[in-house]
Structure 1
Amino acid sequence: MSDFADEQWRLIRDDPRDGATQMALEEIAAETALADDLRTVRVYSWEPSTLSLGYHQDADTVDWEYCEREGIDVTRRQTGGGGIYHDRYADISYTIVAPAAEVPGDLMACYELFCEPILEAFDRMGVDADFAASEQDAIYKPSCYLRDINPAHDIVAPASTDGPGGKISGNAQYRQRDVVIQHGSISYDLEPSRHVGVFEGDVDESTFLDRVTSVREQAGIERDEAVDALAASLGEWCDAESSDWRRSELEAARELAEAKFGADGWVRERSEPESVER
């Protein structure tokens, strides 16, 4: 249990939602944390499967025809790095939202704190995982899972071997209105053809398989077991109460998704909407 577990936290085991709404809900949770002194941890998935672009990523790196043909949604995150293909089945995602005043101001220390429940979840899943022991060079920068591996926030498995291990989770943070938001992607399974197919360029599936591993590959458990382990670890870490989004939050997220995270201006050009009335 973390040092700030005496604060008010909620755990949301979210419904599958489209990418724009999932990104919008993070900003709404940030507003709730400040306005109502209510912090959020959640576990979620993407429906339809979604490519989330890094904040600075060039939209020309996307194979738009492939995404349209395969029914893959595209949105843009507030965090940097490369694009992540979030498969409806193969990806498990999470979010942690807390006031900035309550967490370490040092970025690395904050990563270490917020990744505690993620590493604990892997342990419960039976996956030998830890932060990468050393940096690894980028193979293909448009893809988050093929970019350089950073020991500060990238998790690999198995961790106890002499080799570098395969990337199994990427994590990122940003600050929004005095709130720290960390989100991350966990590979439950591998969909190499789609992971490389969403991008322009010729990247062989074997390149992806050489760099990335999954919970299923490492531990052989069912997806529901992995989700349960992650939700339990997050909830116990901050002593959160099981909860759901308020109706007002869902309505605000729908408006923000339409105005920003689902809009071509944001997705293709990182153009912020003038305002969103709520």
Structure 2
Amino acid sequence: LALLSIGLKPKDKVAVSILSPLLYKTVCESLELELILCDVDPDTGILSMDEATKAVEQGAKAFLLHEPFGQIPYNAQELPTFGLPIIEDISESIGSHLQEFKSGMLGSIVICSLEEDNIISTGGGAIVFARNNETWEKLRTNNRPYRFYNEIPDMNAALGVIQLMNYEVNLKRRFELYTLYKNAILRTSHHLFGIENIDYESNGFMFSVVLNSKIDDAITFANKYSVSCQRSFASSIGSLYQEKYELFPIALPAINRAVSFPLYPFLQQKDQDAIVKVLSHLP
């Protein structure tokens, strides 16, 4: 819906980061759009300004911005100066901020998934926002034929409203856990995925670590203590390009060696302690 509403035509090119979900590739191909695959900013794991410049030179007509694991594009605030539409996906970054900069501030269209594992969940669906009235009218026009299929049922919407009421409390708890995990991983040779600026406050959407060791060893070690641990980017576009270091030197270490740990505001103390113990002793 968002892609249709920014005036793209078949064969137009869309710039995406290599860490974006495979779903982006599937949807763009279904609309006969071509992808320009880009490396990421080393600080944020999001499409970098240098790569955006290259994409424009290659004929990009729009940017599709994925913001993984609570990261925000504070290093790409000049992206709108290219004059191209930006679809900003804040599904994993909603609530994160660095001083006054927040997720959702760059997009011509902003989308936010409401699936069960998102910061705000209605058990399925998504919200689509438009930056201006012209884009909003295009969204409404494109949605009209599917309106009765696209609207979230009342019960699911009520679930989302309840979560919004507790949004600030849950964000605070997620950030507390994120900080606890971060302090644990600092005791090891591994490093945190993403922004390390002291003014950055993460929304706590999962916790991702880039390992200095074999990923299978870390997963086995975590499972030994009944802690869930999974590859962070197993379902990314980059999973199809794991050997292309010459093209994506910044993103590939995360694709090949990043693992994620659960981070939920209602984690029991024993589960929290187990995760901290595993993070502190990751092989």
TM over 0.5: no
**Greater share of strand residues, 1 or 2?**
1
Q: Tell me which structure has the larger Cα radius of gyration.
A: 2
> Normalized against structure 2, the TM-score is what?
0.29
